[in-house]
């Protein structure tokens, strides 16, 4: 027997915090508020320093707060971030996803970021170097020294990742992590290098992706994880540790890859992890450090709207890798996490399904976050802990975001 409408919308017999109003995944007003209150005030990872290895290398970054950024390595080997906006007429200064300003561009000379519109030119430190026919048009009213780029805060830290924060008054990165990455510090101690990048754009909210990374109950979706993990010793001892700031760690375990017919045992380790061990840290509001020795995966979410998310996937090895070792890391990474790997498409399917199913927020007034198993692997404490931080930042309850549950449900 199914439930009728009034049964379907009646509040679960659970404490608040054990369920969520899916409006937090789909309401455009809540999303706009998240961009302002969460993404514009927290540290997010724009890229890894190995993706701009040379002086004058750059990447552009679609900041989840809705901003376009340039990340560029300057002549002093410092990595800078700027709004990708020409202060003249507001054009994009760089259109390409990545490249170098070392050589001349079609619009200007070498070592310059030159706007293609009116050829205003800037250096890698953000200074305005040239305004064409400045004296003729502006006399002394507009001078290069007053028209530098808008600098954005950058920290290169915790394994060489390039973190940015739109908030000039935000605490330093370390003070916002609550020790979450210190817990896996030995895995981030050696110089890392990105060997893989791809992105997926799916229906669904950025928090849904983070949820998926924050609970292991969905191993019922992953045949691979049941056979190599859930059936193996240590799985049920895996534990969630919550860190201040909405971050969570799942303690590592030893997987048995060869329990999956056709898969090989992992032979190569990772700093701080023996071959085949799996460690995971999820950072608020949308970053996951995921290490299945011998490869590391980093997820960064970029919401494109309340119910559309772009997820960036990076695979990393060590800078010290020999070609043979690197090949092994790449193979092991791709078999599980590549676009055609064993697990990643399943995770994307799971989140896409939520995005489709919950698209009309009046359809489902509640979804559950209620598993309590002593913080062990199928406990949903990771999701609840994340949403407790969300509540603090947003001043809204995830289970009652409008403070008026009866009306919201109707």
Cβ at position 333, least distance to other proteins in Å: 25
CB atoms inside a 10 Å sphere around CB 116: 15
Applying CB under 8 A, among 226, 326, 391, 393 the residue interacting with other proteins is 226
* Nearer of residues 259 and 408 to other proteins, judged by Cβ: 259
x/- string (CB under 8 A) for other proteins, residues 30-49?
Answer: --------------------
Alpha carbon separation from 182 to 33, 45, 49, 157, 366 (Å, rounded): 30, 17, 20, 12, 35
Q: In this chain, which stretch among 111-119, 218-226, 390-398, 401-409 interacts with other proteins, using CB under 8 A?
A: 218-226
Closest CA to 377 of 269, 280, 293: 280
Task: Return the HEC string of the chain.
Answer: CCCCHHHHHCCCCCCCCCEECCHHHHCHHHHHHHHHHHHCCCCEEEEEHHHCCCCCEEEEEEECCCEEEEEEECCCCCEEEEECCCCCCCCCCCCCCEEECCCCECCECCCCEECCCCCCEECCCCCEEECCCHHHHHCCCCCHHHCCCCEEEEEEECCCEEEEECCCCCCCHHHHHCCCCHHHHHHHCCCEEEEEEEEEEEECCHHHHHHHHCCCHHHHCCHHHHHHHHCCCCHHHCEEEEECCCEEEEEEEECCHHHCCCCCCCCCCECCECCCEEEEEEECCCEEEEEECCEEEEEEEEEEECCEEEEEEEEEEECCCCHHHHHHHHHHHHHHHCCCCCCHHHHHHHHHHHHHHCCCCCCCCCEECCCCCCCECCCCHHHHHHHHHHHHHHCCECCECCCCHHHHHC
223 binds other proteins (CB under 8 A): yes
Applying CB under 8 A, among 79, 200, 227, 377 the residue interacting with other proteins is 227
* Nearer of residues 233 and 323 to other proteins, judged by Cβ: 233
Cβ at position 398, least distance to other proteins in Å: 29
* Nearer of residues 23 and 227 to other proteins, judged by Cβ: 227
In the region spanning residues 291 to 310, those forming contacts with other proteins, defined by CB under 8 A, are: none
* Nearer of residues 264 and 410 to other proteins, judged by Cβ: 264
Applying CB under 8 A, among 8, 95, 138, 220 the residue interacting with other proteins is 220
* Nearer of residues 138 and 223 to other proteins, judged by Cβ: 223
Q: In this chain, which stretch among 14-22, 177-185, 220-228, 237-245 interacts with other proteins, using CB under 8 A?
A: 220-228
Cβ at position 349, least distance to other proteins in Å: 17
Paired tokens of 136: 């003729």
Cβ at position 230, least distance to other proteins in Å: 6
* Nearer of residues 138 and 217 to other proteins, judged by Cβ: 217
Cβ at position 259, least distance to other proteins in Å: 8
Q: In this chain, which stretch among 17-25, 28-36, 154-162, 222-230 interacts with other proteins, using CB under 8 A?
A: 222-230
231 binds other proteins (CB under 8 A): yes
221 binds other proteins (CB under 8 A): no
CB atoms inside a 10 Å sphere around CB 32: 13
8 binds other proteins (CB under 8 A): no
Closest CA to 350 of 215, 179, 244: 215
Applying CB under 8 A, among 183, 221, 230, 325 the residue interacting with other proteins is 230
Size of interface with other proteins, in residues (CB under 8 A): 7
259 binds other proteins (CB under 8 A): yes
Q: In this chain, which stretch among 9-17, 97-105, 221-229, 237-245 interacts with other proteins, using CB under 8 A?
A: 221-229
Q: In this chain, which stretch among 75-83, 227-235, 315-323, 352-360 interacts with other proteins, using CB under 8 A?
A: 227-235
Q: In this chain, which stretch among 78-86, 90-98, 225-233, 382-390 interacts with other proteins, using CB under 8 A?
A: 225-233
Instruction: Return residues touching other proteins (CB under 8 A).
Output: 220, 223, 226-227, 230-231, 259
């Amino acid at each position: 027997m199914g439930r009728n409408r009034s049964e379907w919308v009646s509040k679960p017999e659970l404490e608040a915090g054990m369920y969520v109003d899916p409006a937090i995944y789909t309401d455009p007003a809540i999303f706009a508020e998240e961009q302002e209150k969460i993404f514009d005030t927290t540290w997010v990872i724009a890229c890894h320093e190995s993706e701009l290895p040379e002086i004058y290398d750059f990447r552009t970054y679609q900041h989840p707060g809705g901003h376009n950024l340039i990340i560029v390595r300057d002549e002093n080997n410092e990595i800078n971030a700027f709004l990708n906006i020409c202060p003249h007429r507001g054009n994009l200064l760089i259109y390409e996803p990545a490249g170098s300003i070392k050589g001349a561009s079609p619009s200007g000379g070498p070592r310059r970021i030159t706007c293609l519109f009116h050829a205003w030119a800037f250096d890698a430190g953000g200074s305005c170097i040239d305004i064409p026919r400045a004296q003729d048009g502006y006399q002394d009213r507009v001078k290069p020294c007053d028209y530098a780029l808008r600098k954005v805060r950058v920290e290169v830290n915790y394994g060489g990742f390039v973190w940015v924060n739109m908030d000039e008054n935000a605490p330093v990165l370390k003070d916002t992590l609550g020790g979450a990455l210190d817990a896996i510090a030995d895995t981030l101690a050696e110089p890392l290098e990105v060997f893989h990048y791809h992105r997926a754009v799916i229906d669904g909210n950025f928090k849904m992706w983070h949820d998926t990374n924050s609970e292991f109950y969905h191993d019922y979706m992953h045949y691979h994880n049941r056979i190599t993990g859930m059936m193996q010793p240590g799985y049920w001892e895996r534990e969630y540790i919550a860190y201040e700031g909405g971050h969570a760690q799942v303690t590592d375990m030893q997987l048995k890859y060869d329990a999956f017919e056709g898969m090989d045992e992992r032979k190569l380790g990772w700093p701080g992890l023996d071959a085949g061990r799996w460690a995971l840290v999820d950072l608020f509001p949308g970053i996951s450090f995921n290490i299945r020795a011998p490869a590391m995966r980093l997820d960064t979410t970029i919401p494109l709207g309340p119910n559309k998310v772009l997820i960036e996937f990076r695979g990393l090895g060590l800078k010290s890798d020999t070609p043979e070792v690197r090949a092994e890391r790449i193979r092991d990474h791709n078999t599980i996490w590549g676009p055609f790997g064993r697990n990643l498409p399943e995770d994307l399917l799971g989140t896409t399904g939520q995005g489709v199913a919950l698209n009309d927020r009046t359809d489902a007034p509640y979804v559950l976050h209620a598993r309590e198993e002593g913080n062990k692997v199928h406990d949903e404490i990771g999701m609840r802990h994340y949403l407790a931080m969300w509540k603090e930042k947003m001043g809204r309850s995830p289970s009652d975001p409008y403070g008026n549950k009866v009306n919201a449900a109707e």
